[in-house]
Structure 1
Amino acid sequence: MLVVLEGILWTIRFFFGACIFSFLTVVIDRLPRGENLVRGRSHCTGCGRELTAWELIPCVSFLCLGGKCRGCGERIPLRCFWTELTGGAAFIGCVTRYGCGRSGVISPRGAVIFAYLGILLVVALIDWDTQMIYDRFHIMILILAVFDFLLYPERGIVTRLIGALIISVPMLILALVIPGAFGGGDIKLMAASGLLLGTASTVCAMFIGIVTGGGYAAVMLAGKKLEKKDQFAFGPFLALGLAAAVFWGNQIAAWYLHFL
């Protein structure tokens, strides 16, 4: 019986995270178009039909509908499904890594990190679509960094300040020397995230971002889908590195230093 109740609790946690990230798909879709984020019910972008409650169950509705609108048959973007799935996995990951706290659902620090992962997702997908990172997201990360410092003072202010500068300053210098090397949004993202994550995790995140972003560019160049002078959104790869660093940054850094 206890195993069943535990399984139900983890299922609730998964769908809670999936629901939050499902709303973020609305933010990702509406914010670049200047639409209101809270007013107006969810609707099919093809036929305009308002979606019913049964069509808004994270992950489940997409699978039951076969990835298509029930009204017009237009395909639902696959990334909506993956975003919801990522939200559920992220929430479970935060509970596993940071505990469930007194609430029995998630600890305060786990909630901060989950919110940060949600911001990273929005930043990554909006940047992918528009090559733009809104300053409001940097401000949100800075606020989360303050909360994290209050909840986790063991990660001292010195390592946080170094983390804010160790990557962002070289990026800024490189952007000034080579126009277009990095966007201002990328630089501010690493500065704000460094204040949250500290030195080791920020360096690890940048390394992952460079490797994955460089790999993507190499594949696109080889397939002649990019020219050498073309620019592409680097924010998604930085966000991927930062998300990985949240969970494994210190371990990866320690593993690397072991070989030095």
Structure 2
Amino acid sequence: MIVLTEGFLWLIRFMIGACIFSFLNVVADRLPREESVVRGRSHCTVCGRTLGPLELIPCVSFLALRGKCKGCKTAIPKRCFLSECLGGAAFVCCGMKFGCGALGILSLGGAVVFCYIGILLVVALIDWDTQMIYDRFHILILLLGMASLWLFPQHGPVDRLIGALVIAVPMLLLTLLIPGAFGGGDIKLMAVSGWFLGCAPVICAMFFGILTGGTYAGVMLATKKLGGKDHFAFGPFLAAGLMIGAVWGDAIATWYLRFL
């Protein structure tokens, strides 16, 4: 009985995270089109039909509708479903890693990391569509970094300052030598994320960002979907690495240092 109750609580936590990230997916979709993210009901972007309550259940509705609009039968972007799954998984991971608070949801530290991952999702989706990262997201991450000084004292101000510079400065220098190597938004993202995460996690994040971004570029070049001079959004791959670094960066760094 206890196991079933605990499992049900984790399912609720998953759905809470999925609901939040479902909204963030709407934010990422509407911001570049300069639409309000708080006014106007959810609707199909093709036929304009307002979605009913049963079509707005995170993860479940996509599967029940078989990934198609109930009205015009247009395929629903898979990233909607993937974003909701990511939100649920992120909420559960933050709960397991940083603990749950008095209400059984998330501790304050877990909530801050979850907010950071949510910002990264919006950054990744917008950058994928527009190759642009808005400065407002850098400011939000910087504010979360100020809060994390108190919540995660194991990364002191000096460590965070090194984290802000250790990746961003080489990126900036490389961009000055090779124009277009990195976008300004990518550099600022790594700077404020280094302040939020600290030195070791942001290095870990950059490793996974380069690994995933390089793999994608290699596949696209091999299949001739990209040319040698073509550019692609690197922000989503940096965001993926930063998500990993936010939750497991310290553990990965500790594991790696055992071999040195």
Query: If the length of structure 2 is used for normalisation, what is the TM-score?
Result: 0.97
Partner of residue 202, structure 2:
202
How far apart, CA to CA, are the structure 1 residues paired with 2:213 and 2:72?
37
> Greater shift after overlay, 195-204 or 245-254?
245-254
* Percent of residue pairs bearing the same amino acid type: 67
Shift of 1:216: 1.2
Three-state SS of the structure 1 residue aligned to 2:38 is coil
Determine if the alignment matches structure 1 residue 76 to structure 2 residue 73: no
How far apart, CA to CA, are the structure 1 residues paired with 2:52 and 2:216?
38
The residue type paired with residue 62 of structure 2 is: F
Partner of residue 115, structure 2:
115
Partner of residue 106, structure 2:
106
Report the count of equivalent residues: 260
How far apart, CA to CA, are the structure 2 residues paired with 1:148 and 1:28?
25
Map Cα deviations across residues 225-258 of structure 1 (whole Å, 9 max, x no partner): 1111111111011111111111221222223223
Aligned ranges 1:1-260 → 2 under 5 Å: 1-260=1-260
The residue type paired with residue 116 of structure 1 is: Y
Three-state SS of the structure 2 residue aligned to 1:104 is coil
Shift of 1:76: 0.8
Shift of 1:201: 0.5
Shift of 1:4: 2.4
What is the aligned-residue RMSD (CA, Å)?
Answer: 1.0
Three-state SS of the structure 1 residue aligned to 2:148 is helix
Three-state SS of the structure 1 residue aligned to 2:73 is coil
After superposing on structure 2, the runs of 4+ consecutive aligned residues of structure 1 that deviate more than 4 Å are none
Shift of 1:73: 1.1
How far apart, CA to CA, are the structure 2 residues paired with 1:170 and 1:257?
22
Unaligned runs of 5+ in 2: none
The residue type paired with residue 121 of structure 1 is: L
Shift of 1:136: 0.6
Map Cα deviations across residues 125-181 of structure 1 (whole Å, 9 max, x no partner): 111111110111101101111111122223211111100010001111111111001
The residue type paired with residue 236 of structure 2 is: P
Three-state SS of the structure 2 residue aligned to 1:155 is coil
How far apart, CA to CA, are the structure 1 residues paired with 2:160 and 2:102?
27
How far apart, CA to CA, are the structure 1 residues paired with 2:56 and 2:44?
11
Query: If the length of structure 1 is used for normalisation, what is the TM-score?
Result: 0.97
